[in-house]
Structure formats: structure tokens, C-alpha cells
Chain A
């Protein structure tokens, strides 16, 4: 087991280094870092001095080493467009995105599992079939259209929910949350629904398929023969064994949650990282783009590691061996 964890860790570090190399090449070769930092009227001497100070004359591996060292300290340089440290820009916006992504994942997991179990138990039910067809359409609907549809319904027609922003937020040091005020909670509803919808359909279909599989197995038949109540069979016996693929997929999907957050945040003018990234792409603000790339890679690597570790918690059979679990 320890060998397995070490191997996962080594892989995670390799991926981070590969992404860092990509981010570094972007920073170094797209546009001229010096020209982006000084004004038009800077003299040649000033430019050369800045290039020297930034270490741009060092050999490539040395520069890359410094880049990685700065990254691990959270130093991503200055935003070309806003003239502020990228670190501060990120810190301002991380809470909004993390809150949104976590809440919509929670929403998708809770409702996805519940609907999936329901659809598997009542296979021929009207509600179950309706949920399944709805999920098919959901896959073909672009995220931004779902968001716009919700805005039209709840903000324009019914006027129940605000159409943009986070509402009032409460601050705790550098963290901020919208959960403690009414406007904050109201502002969260539509973005969470929008972002969670795609995940929900995915989890629901997966849980249904896995449950149907599990309900056919011998141990379920045996549990029935022992007279264990149906409810307990569904949740204690069948659902438990469907959790491994569900946790894997839900975990690996966290990357796409972050990506769909780009779109959701733009639709709802949510002051998060995704909106920051879209602006950075529009204005070719390379340091911000590089920092965002590193952030997404970090989330991705951490999630993958935790999914790997969760296998051990969920599947006792794996604990004895050092082999990698089959995916």
C-alpha cells in the first residue's frame, strides 16, 4: 500500500512539473515579458536591467528552476493588465469559485445518487423514465444555455432570484462566504444548479446502471432470501457496492466542474477564478493564465490522489495488496 501511495505521489509531482513547464514556456515565449512590464518610453538600458533582474538572461533550466521555486511559494508575478500581484488576484477569487464548485458537486452527488437509486428500483416508473429522458436532453444542452434559461425563468419572469453577482458576503480573514446572508444564499442557487446539472445527469446514469448490475448479484438474492427488508438491501448492500465507480467518476469530474465554472461564472457574473481566466485570455494576460493553469492542475492532482486513497477506504480487498486498483 505504501509503495502504491508513493507511486501515486511521484506521478502527481511529474504531472505538476509537466504543467509547470507548459506554463513557463507560455510566460517566457508568448509575447515579451519585459515589454509587458515597462512602458513604451523605457530606455534600452532600463529594459536590459529589468531583463537581468527577472533572470531572463540565465540558461533555460535555471530559469525554469526559479519559476518552479517561485510557484511553490505562491509567487506568480504581476498581472500585465491590472498591474497587481497575481497572488492577490487569485486569493480574492478563490473563495467564490471553491464555494460554487463544492456546493454544486454536493448538490449533484446528493440528488444524482438519490435519483439514480430511485430510477434503478422503479425501473418502469413514469418518474424514473422522465428523469432519464431529461438527462439525455441535458447532455446536449450547452451549460450557458441552461444558465440563461434559469435567469429568464427565475430572475426576469418570476423575479425571485438575483441574476448576477454573489450578493452580500461575510468575510473571515481572506476567506469570504455567501452562505451566511440571505442575498448570498439566494445568489448561490442558480449558479449551483447550472454548474451541478451536467454532473447530476452523469452521476444519476452511472448510479442507475451500477445499481441494476448490483441488484442482479447473488448476495442481493441471498439477502432477499434471508428476509432483509428491501430498503435495507437497496441501501446497505447494493448501493454500497456501487460507490467505487461513482466516487471515481465524481472525483475525476471535479476537473470539468472547474472548467464549467468558467462558463457559469461568466453567465452569472460570479466574481470567481473562471471569470478572471476568461478576462486573462481576452487580454492575453499571461501570468494570470499561467497561474490559473497551475491552480487547475493542482486541484486535478489533489483530487486524483484523494480518489486513489478513497479506494482503500471503500474497498477492503485492496488494503492487503500493493497492486494498483483496476479502473
Chain B
């Protein structure tokens, strides 16, 4: 047996430390968090690996067969004899594959819009807290006004304006990016508020003072010194906002202003499935909806757990 390399040793030591940390301890002792994490992980893997594990390339018209339309869940295909676990839609599209591909779009928009709003919110929050004065008043005033308007309304407005600015022939390609920007812009204010609060506390501490004495610029101090110390609450908000962003995306797509039907997300699938509710083909709507609710609920529960775990007062 070979002796472990120093790198592997260091890595395993780090792993052991992480395993012993407070957050990991509280995770091991919270069944709700474990179940939620497993659900999120399974749905996440399903979405990421969709091209390899999905039984069918759901949005390649060549792989569809109209003969298979409206197959009930668990029944075999009329053509190939393969069983459709979750049934098919009107065009004979396997719902399991459609959901795997659909949650890919939903999660992509969710994650990207959260990253987008973190970048805007954290930088504006740092600037407001550290620079103070007029910058602070101006940024927080906008945040206040925006927070009192519902996010979905702001996202719709941004979406409409973006559509007006982009030439119609590019609408379809730009849809996902527009969606990410719209949802991201509607959620930055909560990050800005939290980061501003923590920055106000941090900026009077000695390490900031010494950095200032050393002559570092304001932006360097904000980025290199204050930022690493205000990230805890950001993580909690980001988790809960991820659920909100996924719901916002599905809502917009459901309203018909989100991603185009050629590249559907869970919301688009639900919108399409709604048409078949009255004729009794419930599965076309039910399984995408179930996937969406499970995803949002588990992420919410994880967020709740993380908030409690990172808050030493509640221990």
C-alpha cells in the first residue's frame, strides 16, 4: 500500500474538520434537512444529467411518435413497447424526459438569476454601508421602493421593456437571458439591505481601520476585507431566494412571457398541461407540478435549516 500523498492528507484533514463543524453537526441531527437535501440532490442530478439519463430526447421532434400520444402513466409505447413511467403528452413525448429537460431550464434560470442578484445586491449593499452619506441614502431609497413592489410585477416590467428593446427575431434566443436579468433585477434589494447592515457593523472594526491606515483604497477594503465577513446571511437569503426565483420563473413561463415552448421549463410544461386537464389527461400537468413543488419546498426547508444553523443564538 502506498503512503497517502501530502495533498490527500491535507484534503482528508480538511474533510474531517468540515465533518466536525457546527453546521455539519446540526445537519446530521436534522432529519428534515437531510431529506430535503436528498430530494434537492436527486432533482438536481436528474436535471444536470438529463441528456444522458432521459429515456428520450424530449424536444427533438424526430424522437417523438404521434402514435404514442396520451399514453397513461406506466403503460407501454404502441410502437417500441417501452414503458412510459409518467405517461406521454399529446405529441407522444415522454413526460419523464420532458420533466428532466424542463427542470434543467428552471434550475439554470433559478441559479443564474440568484447569482445575478447577489452580484448587484452585494456590491450595492457594500457601497451603501461603507461609503455612507448620499450614496447610502440613494441606494437604500431605491431598495425601499423596490421592496414594496411585488417581485413578479418588477420582473414582468423588466421583461416587457427588454422585449421592446430587442428586435423580434432575437426574442427566442434571448428569452432565457432576459428572464435571468428580469428575475435577478427584481430580487437584489434584500441582499443590499442585509449586506449594508453587516457592513455598518464591520466597518468600525480594527482590521478595517488598519487596512485604511495601510492606505488601501475604499474598493479594495470593501472587496478584500469586508466582503468575506458579511457572506453568512447572504448564503441564507440566496437559498430561500433560489426557491423564489424558481417559482418566479415558472410563474412567468406559466403566464406565457417566459421561455419559448421550443425549450420549455417546468412552468411551460404546466401551462401546456393545463389544456388537457378538462379531458382527463391529468398526468401531463400533475408530474411537472409535483416536481416544481418538491423542488421549491425542499429548497425552502433547507434555507430554514441553514438560517437556524448559522444563527448561534438559536442553538
Q: Identify the A interface with B (CB < 8 A).
A: 15, 18, 26, 30-31, 137, 139-145, 148, 151-152, 156, 163, 252, 255-256, 258-260, 262-263, 266, 277-278, 280-282, 284, 286, 289, 293, 296, 300, 304
Contact = CB atoms under 8 A, between A and B. Distances in A.
Nearest to A140: B297
Contacts of B165: 30-31
A140 B293 contact: yes
13 contacts: A30-B165, A31-B164, A140-B300, A141-B296, A142-B247, A142-B293, A144-B251, A145-B293, A281-B156, A281-B157, A282-B257, A289-B157, A304-B148
Interface of B: 145, 148-150, 152-153, 156-157, 159-161, 163-165, 243, 247, 250-251, 254-257, 270, 274, 277-278, 282, 285, 289, 292-293, 296-297, 300
Nearest to A301: B148
Contacts of A266: 254-256
B277 A152 contact: yes
Contacts of A300: 148-149
Contact of A296 (B149, B282, B297): B149
Nearest to A149: B289
A230 to B, nearest CB: 33
Contacts of A258: 150, 153
B293 to A, nearest CB: 6
B15 to A, nearest CB: 33
> What 7 pairs between A and B have smallest CB-CB spacing?
A259-B150, A30-B164, A281-B160, A140-B297, A284-B164, A256-B150, A259-B153
A26 B158 CA distance: 10
A278 B164 contact: no
Given A26-B161, A284-B160, A140 B296 contact: yes
Contacts of B157: 26, 281, 289, 293
B293 A141 contact: yes
B149 A142 contact: no
Contact of A281 (B163, B251, B270, B297): B163
Contacts of B148: 252, 255, 300, 304
Nearest to B282: A152
Nearest to B297: A140
B102 to A, nearest CB: 15
B277 A156 contact: yes
Given A140-B296, A281-B159, A151 B277 contact: yes
A268 to B, nearest CB: 11
Nearest to A279: B256
Given A148-B274, A263-B152, A139 B161 contact: no
Contacts of B164: 26, 30-31, 284, 286
Contact of A278 (B247, B256, B293, B300): B256
Contact of B243 (A18, A30, A140, A304): A140
A282 B289 CA distance: 24
Given A26-B161, A289-B157, A137 B257 contact: no
A148 B296 contact: no
Nearest to A300: B148
Contacts of A156: 277-278
Given A152-B277, A259-B153, A284-B160, A143 B300 contact: no
B251 A143 contact: yes
B289 to A, nearest CB: 5
B20 to A, nearest CB: 32
A113 B70 CA distance: 45
B243 to A, nearest CB: 7
B285 A148 contact: yes
Contacts of A137: 297
B289 A145 contact: yes
Given A139-B300, A255-B150, 6 more contacts: A140-B293, A142-B254, A144-B270, A148-B277, A263-B254, A282-B256
Contacts of B256: 266, 278, 282
Given A148-B277, A152-B282, A262 B152 contact: yes
A30 B161 CA distance: 7
Contacts of A15: 145
Given A145-B292, A145-B293, A255 B277 contact: no
Contacts of B297: 137, 140
A141 B156 CA distance: 20
B305 to A, nearest CB: 13
